[in-house]
Structure 1
């Protein structure tokens, strides 16, 4: 708990510094693909995800930008269950089941703009803190008890930006966002019930981390700061 509190205070302090010196702000949103790494031997498929953020940034004359953003992101994965018949002879058709997390995400980072003839490109590196406000399991709902509410990770970004007018720019942003912490952690020895086969299996350690690939479309408004001499 102490580490989580220090982490939150660090984020709030850095974010406050960005807000105080902001030269730009905007909104971004878009689709993505969610992955999950399950070390318990379970294989998971891709999940269609989405996100929306509001952001502030502070740009220097050299093209270096410090940014902060706050938004809503979905995370998770899916599993395809093949057709089968349970112990009572009931037939179940094939279906795809989802594991979805609704996360509030605060991110801070540094971005470098590179000027070209017609537009600017950029790359960026950020750190994220996430709070899970809601989780949905269409399979193994008992994992709700093992969801970790606070998580953190990094964001690796690249993209391009175009000028619309003197005070407005728009762009695209590709983000690869692996988590460092575990969204789910189940210690070894916890037995679990399979609702499909209606059987109980011996428990093994289960550690789940999120990975997201997100594509954002954004609009950025610039504010010109003039200093009195």
Structure 2
């Protein structure tokens, strides 16, 4: 974690020296997390939040800038099980209630990239698009297990902490609008898509697990291999401040 902070400070220095003037600010908003579970089952979206601080190079007559961004993002997906009725060997029924389970990977992200401004937009706004490479560090996780006493099977379908990959990487692409309030202060609205190229979770098949279903056909089951990659779609609203350096001979 300390190395990530030092790297971000180094990037801030590099961006700031690229052009003596700079722009900086903060942004945040809702996040939709999606995951693909290979060789397993499909999950549903997870709706959470994210926030970032950023700095970018600034030249008044140039539409191009470099930027660095650090933020906190709750990524993941969710599981929804529906009410199920089992018939016991004695003919009686057991009802398992529906449950909604969030699977959260709480990550700190660092993005380094470039921004290109294009044309002019609504109400004097400045449209732009951006692309950056990204590194993530998982600070912690939250896998909601519901109530295993109601249905112990739930505890066998969630991820195991030991197979969570702490460091991941990917890229971010998006676009938005800069809305100036004055020459030095403005607002930004941005939409970005952020896929991982690495796997947040990598678990081999685990055989010979006691079947939590007492009425199952076998006393042992195999938990299938699981490889999970993150994808987020993020909407951000924030403020952007311009720091101008005027050189006087």
Pairing 1:32-43 to 2, within 5 Å after superposition: 32-43=31-42
Q: 1:24 to 1:107 in 2, by over 3 A?
A: same
Pairing 1:51-200 to 2, within 5 Å after superposition: 51-60=50-59, 61-85=61-85, 90-116=94-120, 118-139=124-145, 140-141=157-158, 143-189=160-206, 197=213, 200=220
CA distance in 2, matches of 1:51, 1:147: 20
Q: Which range moves more in the overlay, 95-104 or 15-24?
A: 15-24
Unaligned runs of 5+ in 1: none
RMSD: 2.6
Q: Which range moves more in the overlay, 54-63 or 218-227?
A: 54-63
Question: Are 1:17 and 2:14 counterparts?
Answer: yes
Q: Give SS of 2:223's match.
A: coil
Greater C-alpha Rg = 2
CA distance in 2, matches of 1:16, 1:190: 51
Q: Which range moves more in the overlay, 31-40 or 136-145?
A: 136-145
Report the equivalent of 2:151. Answer: none
Contact 2:28 2:49 in 1 (8 A): yes
TM-score (norm: length of structure 2): 0.80
Contact 2:40 2:225 in 1 (8 A): no
TM-score (norm: length of structure 1): 0.87
Contact 1:15 1:108 in 2 (8 A): no
Aligned residues: 223
CA distance in 2, matches of 1:170, 1:226: 23
Q: Give SS of 1:225's match.
A: coil
CA distance in 1, matches of 2:62, 2:119: 10
CA deviation vs aligned residue, 1:61-102 (integer Å, no higher than 9, x gap): 321011111111100101110112468764221121110111
CA deviation vs aligned residue, 1:101-157 (integer Å, no higher than 9, x gap): 111111111000123162110000011111111101124455111101111110011
CA distance in 2, matches of 1:202, 1:105: 34
